[in-house]
Structure 1
Amino acid sequence: MARDSKSKEHRKKGGLGRGIEALFEDEPQIDTTEEVQDLSLDEIRPNPYQPRKNFDNKSLKELADSIKENGVFQPIIVRKSINGYEIIAGERRCRASKLAKKKTIPAIIRNFDESQMMEVAVLENLQREDLTPLEEAQAYEMLQKNLGLTQEEVSKRMGKSRPYIANYLRLLTLPSKTKRLLQHGELSMGQARTLLGLKDKDKIDEVAKRVVKQGMPVRKVEALVAQINSKKPRKKTVRKSAFIRASESQLANKFGLNVNISESKKGKGHLSIDFASTDELNRILDILGVDLDD
């Protein structure tokens, strides 16, 4: 299933409630004439909070070819670090410039703290819809853990509803094989969310593989999950030893009633004798030599 077959929910996530500038309302407005410097690409490192893990090689090559011909039109944004610079925004341009064998890249240096670095990295990618559903989920989790935010606080900062954030975070509970299908675009956001509805979580990988193989739309996945959930689990048949079966037979003959013997792995067991009336119970007691009048 192609990656551009993502669920409508994932495709229509533009229009964030807050722009990048809104994150820094307390900062003075940036002068549009701020200085652009040519920095050595060897001094620039990726944003440690970059949520995007995969970069499309084909589009990266196309950008590199354009940079060879025309250069970089839009400067990247970096911050000074202990050893060189860290990218705040523009990692794709930086990668393409290296691919184009460039030595330097135009950049603007800004003073951002860790929190701002993290939020910009997430917002920049979300606004361009560059992230896979799994990468987006991991980005929200990173904001939660590293900044100590609640889901409600993440939703406010990202301009999303709390259920929207919660639905993405639930994807992180998927088993590893299903996560890989989601990451590579073989499984859509809608399909993955539906699979989370399986009562038996051990079946998710197996069903996900079937969904991808058959190219099931979300509605069919929903029907399949409902069908699987409605099935009653089969009772496991425990094979009894020859000794237990012989003992049951002899006792059944002795009492003339149905006898069942079960044993556990720890060596303990259970013996039951079925009777239909008080008279049958008294007969069992007589055979066993039990006198209740004593």
Structure 2
Amino acid sequence: MSKRLGRGLDALIPSLNISDDEKVVEIPLNQLRPNPYQPRKTFNDDSIKELAASIKEHGVIQPIIVRTVLKGYEIIAGERRFRASEFSGLATIPAVVKKFSDQQVMEIALIENLQREDLNAMEIAVAYQSLIDQFSLTQEELSVKVGKSRSHIANFLRLLQLPEEIKQYVSRGTLSMGHAKAIVSLKDEKMQTMIANSAIKEQWSVRELEEAVYKVEEGNAAAKKSVGKPKKKDPYIHQLEDNLRNVYRTTVKIKHNNNKGKIEIMYYSKDDLERLLELLKGKIS
């Protein structure tokens, strides 16, 4: 019977199963190095200490998975157990040595963390993009490999379009994945940042942020519509402008709204201004 690494993980990566005929060996910790493709950038110190306490009492129950590299071994699965063993002061750790390609190592590291929900949204997005870029995968191919829907993959990849400031908010957990998904729908970076900062300051829920984004988009649509269809000038106003233009022999514009407004009379030199002033004085007197 094979020893399972975790619910669902062995199904996605059958090669991680440890069969009864595979040899478990004790490997010195100083001969191990972390997975260079590890998408998780931070490890929770408290959880490592809790695991270390368990290891001190019961030992490392489940062997880690490694592959042979130049000058030692590389951890494929089990970095938390490795770190906790170091914290416990152990000299060696039980391990099974397997052969994996670089692509398999990247996939395993990502899937293992996804299964345990150890990654934040930005770490997941960066890991997805790394797999796509490094191994020329389509989103559909990646979705099959990690056991997620293509829309799930696409939603995370869209986060990479966000300004760096907002990416940091998501990485630190200041904004959730739901907040980020709403913000990324806005096209203007300045507006994205403004909305993000408002959401943090006002402690908006995802729903409240979605409503704010909707209002911004609705306002933009209304502005575009008004620009696309300029208001037709009142014929009476148009006639008055023509009459004044003939009187003052210059451009005259009348701007009005709700029976209030202003008259703009253009001049193009000092002499032109003095001419207009004389005309106006004559009309007034």
- Report what 2:189 is aligned to: 201
Task: Give the whole-Å Cα distance in 1 for the aligned partners of 2:98 and 2:10.
Answer: 24
Task: Give the whole-Å Cα distance in 2 for the aligned partners of 1:252 and 1:55.
Answer: 79
Task: Give the whole-Å Cα distance in 1 for the aligned partners of 2:251 and 2:55.
Answer: 90
Distance 1:161 1:39, change over 3 A: same
TM-score in terms of structure 1 length: 0.71
- Given that 2:39 and 2:127 are in contact with CA atoms closer than 8 Å, whether structure 1 keeps it comes out as yes
Q: 1:180 aligns with which of 147, 150, 168?
A: 168
Is the partner of 1:78 in helix, strand or coil? strand
- Given that 2:52 and 2:85 are in contact with CA atoms closer than 8 Å, whether structure 1 keeps it comes out as yes
Task: Give the whole-Å Cα distance in 1 for the aligned partners of 2:152 and 2:11.
Answer: 16
TM-score in terms of structure 2 length: 0.73
- Report what 1:19 is aligned to: 12
Task: Give the whole-Å Cα distance in 1 for the aligned partners of 2:29 and 2:10.
Answer: 34
Equivalent pairs counted in the alignment come to 227
Deviation at 1:33, TM superposition (A): 3.2
Task: Give the whole-Å Cα distance in 2 for the aligned partners of 1:93 and 1:105.
Answer: 9
- Report what 2:97 is aligned to: 109
Task: Give the whole-Å Cα distance in 1 for the aligned partners of 2:153 and 2:11.
Answer: 15
Q: 1:255 aligns with which of 221, 243, 249?
A: 249
- Report what 1:119 is aligned to: 107
Task: Give the whole-Å Cα distance in 2 for the aligned partners of 1:17 and 1:190.
Answer: 29
Pairing of 1:1-294 with structure 2 (within 5 A)? 18-21=11-14, 24=15, 31-231=19-219, 255-258=249-252
Is the partner of 2:157 in helix, strand or coil? helix
- Report what 1:10 is aligned to: none
Is the partner of 1:149 in helix, strand or coil? coil
Structure 1 residue runs of 4+, over 4 Å off?
A: 14-18, 251-254
One-letter identity of the residue aligned with 1:100: S
Deviation at 1:258, TM superposition (A): 2.0
Distance 1:17 1:112, change over 3 A: closer
Task: Give the whole-Å Cα distance in 1 for the aligned partners of 2:126 and 2:38.
Answer: 10
Distance 1:141 1:252, change over 3 A: farther
Deviation at 1:201, TM superposition (A): 2.1
Deviation at 1:120, TM superposition (A): 1.0
Deviation at 1:257, TM superposition (A): 3.5
Task: Give the whole-Å Cα distance in 2 for the aligned partners of 1:44 and 1:252.
Answer: 91
- Given that 2:12 and 2:145 are in contact with CA atoms closer than 8 Å, whether structure 1 keeps it comes out as no
Deviation at 1:69, TM superposition (A): 2.3
- Given that 1:16 and 1:159 are in contact with CA atoms closer than 8 Å, whether structure 2 keeps it comes out as no
Superposed CA deviations along residues 222-273 of structure 1, whole A, max 9, x for unmatched, are 110111223357xxxxxxxxxxxxxxxxx999624428xxxxxxxxxxxx98
Q: Which has a greater percent of helix?
A: 2
